[in-house]
Structure 1
Amino acid sequence: MLKQEAEVREVLVFDIWGDFAHFKKNYATTSALTYNFPPRNTIAGIIGAILGLKRADFPEKLSPEKSYIGVSILSPIMKKTITMNLIHTKPSESLIFKNNFGYFKKHTQIPFQFLSNISFRVYFSTDDEEMFSQLYTYLKNHKSHYTVSLGLSNLLCNFKLIGKKTIRKKEVANKEVEVLTVIPMNKVKEVNVFKNPKMNIENLPRFIDSSRTVHEYQEVLSSMDPEKPLFVVPRDTLWEIENDKFISFL
């Protein structure tokens, strides 16, 4: 019986970083909390901004069915809470108030949680060869069509191409492996907490369409220590990027 050849893909690897980042947890109401790393849809938006894709187009063009997106955390997770002055929007109240100094516009003060001095590594692949080639050219020349940000438009983001790499899909069920990226919990059978005790599980949106409707959530395991990868026993297959080192896609 002939042995089936392993699936092979080419991935673009690039780093993104900035002074501050905010990836809002949509279930947080009274204060704006942030995820520890960008959800899949946020990374798709960053790629869309580099390529110049319209806001209404990138969710479908970079959907989980059409692209592969993975991320690893490169810096320590440090969070700061800063109170922001937002525009007062209650229709039942006047938007102007007067005191001894004159007339002023009302503002609403909301605590925002930010990640500070943060950096991530992104792994991207797609069957669309034109898109893949175009993104490689933009990254190589350090150019983008739109300004790139980390969650909010005023949190500017820098980026740098690491290169192209070939990955191979490999059957690793019932075998402990080293994973360089965050990994969805539905792909994990066991976790080795002794090799890396600093881990976190978050429930993130996986796909948000152009009307901002969330179609799917997923629980994702991440390492809180950038010096230590995850050590897990997968349920079936993962993508090998180096000898016995693996990545996973969101």
Structure 2
Amino acid sequence: MSTTDLDVVGRESLSFTVRGPWAHFRRVDATTEKLTYRVMPRTTVAGLLAAVLGEPRDSYYDTFSKETSAIAITPECELQTQSIPQLTLPTKGGNIKTADGVSGKTVVDPEVIAKERKRRTFEYVVDAAYRIDLVLDDTETFERVAKFLESGRSTYTPSLGKTECLADITDVTRSTVKDDGNPEEVDSTVPEEHVVPTPGEPLRMERTPAYMEADAGGRKTTGFVSYAFAPADQTLTAPSAPVRSINGRSVCFL
């Protein structure tokens, strides 16, 4: 099953909107071109919240696991993309060095630049905005996240994927998840097995990483989710999905 294992009905949810002029969520199936997912992946939402709290890298996966968390993601933008060519340089270990005799300056070896500098095309979501609904089994972490977002604080600067894609977090609210969502008008993403296509309208689909765990090399993906999504002001029909309601919106938690 591609939805969360956590029973969310009757639980408190924290909702917020994250937006920015640009977003880039690197597609794991892309090779040469730096393509982006249209919708913010669940793993990226978890990473964003961990950055807000200042959690160490690879330390937060259990908190946002399928059994202990539930996240609904609703696009609030048109999900239009733009491709931008950029020159890139390697930043792996050993390539960036301190300049001899100059304090506080770093350089990349000219030979590395000549060999490794490449022009790549990055795809970005333009004027990106997503409404996130969060439920956590860990009430202590839930309260920490709520206090940070409600006060406008963040340990690390929020971003939409790439660190260059700076983001703002606004419209933070708390509410109770109810079991009266409308499966005929679902605002959020919905796992593909539940979606019924609407005649004459395109069905937009993506398959993204959803769950991770730490391992000896850092982290590994333990689950993917294939879901349908609709741009802002459009909805999906999903009669068999576990649709819940939050402040009048119908969403499906992953």
Q: Which interval holds the TM-score relative to the shorter structure?
A: 0.7 to 0.9
Query: What amino acid is aligned across from residue 142 of structure 2 in structure 1?
Result: F
Query: What amino acid is aligned across from residue 233 of structure 2 in structure 1?
Result: E
The alignment covers a number of residue pairs equal to 229
Task: Give unmatched runs, 5+ long, in structure 2.
Answer: 1-7, 95-108
- Asked if the contact 1:88–1:108 (Cα under 8 Å) also holds between the matched residues in 2, the reply is no
Aligned to 1:240: 245
CA displacement 1:26-82 (0-9 Å, x = unmatched): 110010110001111000001111112111212222222211111100011111111
In the alignment, the residues of structure 1 paired with residue 77 and residue 31 of structure 2 have an alpha-carbon distance, to the nearest angstrom, of 28
Aligned to 1:219: 226
Is 1:96 the equivalent of 2:113? Answer: no
Query: What amino acid is aligned across from residue 21 of structure 2 in structure 1?
Result: D
Cα distance, 1:204 vs structure 2: 1.0
Residues 43, 184 of structure 1: CA spacing in aligned structure 2 closer, same or farther, 3 A cutoff?
same
- Asked if the contact 2:197–2:203 (Cα under 8 Å) also holds between the matched residues in 1, the reply is no
Secondary structure of 1:138's partner?
Answer: helix
In the alignment, the residues of structure 2 paired with residue 88 and residue 57 of structure 1 have an alpha-carbon distance, to the nearest angstrom, of 26
In the alignment, the residues of structure 2 paired with residue 89 and residue 242 of structure 1 have an alpha-carbon distance, to the nearest angstrom, of 45
Q: What TM-score do the two structures reach when normalised by structure 2?
A: 0.81
- Asked if the contact 1:139–1:161 (Cα under 8 Å) also holds between the matched residues in 2, the reply is no
Query: What amino acid is aligned across from residue 127 of structure 1 in structure 2?
Result: D
Aligned to 1:177: 184
Task: Give unmatched runs, 5+ long, in structure 1.
Answer: 1-5, 98-102
- Asked if the contact 1:96–1:106 (Cα under 8 Å) also holds between the matched residues in 2, the reply is no
Identity of aligned residues (%): 25
Cα distance, 1:138 vs structure 2: 0.9
CA-atom RMSD in angstroms = 2.7
Aligned to 2:97: none
Secondary structure of 2:207's partner?
Answer: strand
In the alignment, the residues of structure 2 paired with residue 227 and residue 238 of structure 1 have an alpha-carbon distance, to the nearest angstrom, of 18
Is 1:166 the equivalent of 2:170? Answer: no
Cα distance, 1:107 vs structure 2: 1.2
Residues 105, 27 of structure 1: CA spacing in aligned structure 2 closer, same or farther, 3 A cutoff?
closer
Aligned to 2:209: 205
Is 1:155 the equivalent of 2:155? Answer: no
Which 4+ stretches in 1 moved above 2 angstroms? 88-91, 103-106, 208-212, 240-243
Cα distance, 1:242 vs structure 2: 4.6
Query: What amino acid is aligned across from residue 193 of structure 1 in structure 2?
Result: T
Q: What TM-score do the two structures reach when normalised by structure 1?
A: 0.82
In the alignment, the residues of structure 2 paired with residue 176 and residue 65 of structure 1 have an alpha-carbon distance, to the nearest angstrom, of 23
Cα distance, 1:238 vs structure 2: 2.3
